[in-house]
Amino acid sequence: MRKFLPVMVAVLLSVCASLSLAGPKKLTVDQVLSGIEGRYKTSGMCAKFYQEATLAGMGISDNATGSVCFKAPDKMAWKYEKPEEQEVVTDGKILWIYRKVDNQVMVGEAGAFFGSGEGASFFSDVTRLKKMFTVSFAKGMIPEKWSKSGWYALRLIPKKKRPEFVELNLAVDARTFEIQESVSKNQAGDSTRILFYDLAFNQKLPDSKFVFIAPKGADVMKME
């Protein structure tokens, strides 16, 4: 199984600029969160993504691109296109991870992997951000692009402590309240950055889109 999947969240590669709120209107954290909730109050949302995962101790980075769809409650379908085809799908209860090159499907309980908001799973119901995280404006060192773009930079600390997921940073467009990037980090300092683009809201997505049917002859393995 590929090392860098959204279920193996982590984040924040090197960043080099101080936070500047001169661009966006100075709202409170609660006002920004309310803006996000209003924007993502939708039947379904899809987007394309670019992902960069970094192993801090080894200085190794891995990039991937693809598309993703979210639907409340707790439904996600990630489709990786490059560098190899993979799918990460959940209906909120069951998680399927499919690697095409090996014709292998790994199956597990979704809550064990996404229960604390890992893997950008918060997109399936952004109204739970306040319940799942302690949220503040990010201070100090943030990506230069975030400052220059006039985005709000939020720092989210999971209320449920897990070594594989200790921090999440979000870049939020000050005009639309759309989340442009997410950056997550684990206890070891490994990081995963996900850039979202071509966002499409109010998509009518059938529940069947979030159920994975193993291809004929696939090797199906259970994740503990």
Q: Determine the topology of domain 17-199 in CATH.
A: outer membrane lipoprotein receptor (LolB), chain A (2.50.20)
Residue 32: which H helix or E strand, with range?
helix 29-39
pLDDT in tens, 145-190: 777 778 999 999 998 888 888 999 999 999 999 999 999 999 998 9
Q: What is the pLDDT of residue 143?
A: 72
Q: What is the pLDDT of residue 113?
A: 73
Domains of the chain: which residue ranges? Answer: 17-199
More confident: 9 or 136: 136
Q: What is the pLDDT of residue 171?
A: 94
pLDDT in tens, 10-32: 332 222 222 233 345 689 999 99
Reported confidence tier of residue 141, pLDDT bands at 50, 70, 90: low
Give the whole-angstrom CA distance, residue 169 versus residue 162: 16
Q: What is the pLDDT of residue 119?
A: 52
Give the whole-angstrom CA distance, residue 162 versus residue 151: 28
Query: Against a cut of 0.75, is the pTM above it?
Result: yes
Reported confidence tier of residue 128, pLDDT bands at 50, 70, 90: confident
Q: What is the pLDDT of residue 223?
A: 87
Sign of the CA dihedral with 37 first, then 46, 6, and 188 last: negative
Alpha-carbon dihedral angle through residues 135, 139, 144, 146, given to the nearest 10 degrees: 30
Q: What is the pLDDT of residue 53?
A: 93
pLDDT in tens, 73-125: 889 999 999 999 999 999 989 999 999 999 999 999 987 777 555 556 677 77
Helix (H, G, I), strand (E, B) or coil at 26: coil
Q: What is the pLDDT of residue 179?
A: 94
Q: What is the pLDDT of residue 24?
A: 57
Q: Which two tokens stand for residue 7?
A: 């279920």
Has residue 1 got a pLDDT over 90? no
More confident: 196 or 19: 196
